[in-house]
Amino acid sequence: MQNLLNRFLGYARSDTRSDESSGTTPSTVSQMLFARKLADELRKTGLQEVTLDSNGYLMATLPANIPDPGPVMGLIAHMDTSPDAPSANIKPFVHDNYDGNDIVLNHDRDIRLSPKEFPELAAYSGQTIITSDGLTLLGADDKAGIAEIVTAMELLLADPSLKHGTIRIAFTPDEEIGRGADQFNVAAFGADYAYTVDGGAIGELEYENFNAAAATVTVSGRSVHPGTAKDTMINSIMVAREFDAFLPAAERPEKTSGYQGFYHLYEIRGGVEETVMKYIIRDHDRTKFNQRKKWVEEAGAKVERDHRGAAVSVRLKDQYFNMKEIIEANWYIIEEAVAAYRTAGIEPVIKPVRGGTDGARLSFMGLPCPNIFTGGHNYHGRFEFISLQSMEKAVEVIVYLCLSAYKRKK
């Protein structure tokens, strides 16, 4: 546990946020710097075939220690952290033997992580909790996944009696901005199937995710001096408000859960002359997903008709699709995961991902890839936390997954 903790704390201190406005891969220099350090660590750990390409994709191999090893399993995590929360000068703090009360993250500003606001915290009484200082995110998404994979590889290398086939690992850039699979070379990776270690609370096992699209809505109006604006001004801000009101208010992220889809307005900027709104559209069901996209287009057409002289442009782009259909055709991957969880003393909590994962796109690129837990909570925010004991269990699960192909073959 100490190696795991030290490794994670070291990773967490690195600012590796991605940048959606960048046109490079990786989108930030800091990700490449982190990848180079990580590559050196993998070599020192004893992994082989360590490669880091110009796009920041780091891959390595744990060679089989059995003859005729059979299928190659992969393990994947991402190096970047979310650009949606502060991530400069991350200061991780370790809170031993959590007593069930508020955790003071920052004494000077009286920032607290409280079980009253985050009831899930109460389940970790007596455990070791890791947080930031309340001024930044922690970065367990997905530095925890990286630390857990590397620690599992270290354990397997240290004990030749643990028999396993060939294991490939990959650490990717820019997952948080939806580009994590853009330059992923599935053929070079050479795995038959894989798991992303990028989930949340202990026990989560996910093989369903949203179908996802992005929508950019541009409203063009007409600016006129307000003193003489009667019947001539077209205020694009007001038209944009009507567009947003046309979308169901009950189908926003803050109003939905489980398999319920949503429309999420996450950015708006503009003035009288022009307003630009950015949405993400999500639904697990492909038919409903397509209906949602159609509804956005119809909303644009309706608002434009209602405001003569205004122009409403709707630009849609599919981002990823529900990997369920791919995983169900390769169900042994889930069976092996369930067995690994139970061997580690964990009852799997199979639930849909209310978001995306590199595994979704990779599954459609020929690499079936469900998602397993890291142990973290409250990702992408200042109140992020993770239990060291949950991280240890994730390492156990990874080790058992590495042994599963051998056991199945035997």
Alpha-carbon span 59 to 221, nearest angstrom: 50
Alpha-carbon span 81 to 87, nearest angstrom: 8
- Residue 175 annotated in active site: yes
Alpha-carbon span 234 to 132, nearest angstrom: 47
Terminal Cα distance for the chain, rounded: 31
Tell me which of 15, 19, 80, 251 is the catalytic residue: 80
Structure tokens of 349?
């909590």
Alpha-carbon span 183 to 360, nearest angstrom: 15
Q: Rounded to whole angstroms, what are the CA distances from 156 to 90, 194, 255, 265?
A: 31, 18, 44, 46
Q: Rounded to whole angstroms, what are the CA distances from 344 to 197, 395, 399?
A: 16, 9, 10
Tell me which of 19, 154, 175, 208 is the catalytic residue: 175
231 burial (CB, 10 Å; 0-12 / 13-18 / 19+) is exposed
118 burial (CB, 10 Å; 0-12 / 13-18 / 19+) is middle
Alpha-carbon span 186 to 193, nearest angstrom: 10
Q: How many CA atoms lie within 13 A of 3 on its CB side?
A: 10
- Residue 274 annotated in active site: no
Alpha-carbon span 158 to 402, nearest angstrom: 14
Q: Give bridge partners of residue 131 from the DSSP assignment.
A: 93, 385
64 burial (CB, 10 Å; 0-12 / 13-18 / 19+) is middle
CA angle centred on 7, ends 349 and 166, rounded to 5°: 65
For the beta carbon of residue 352, count every other beta carbon within 10 angstroms.
Answer: 15
Residues with catalytic annotation? 80, 175
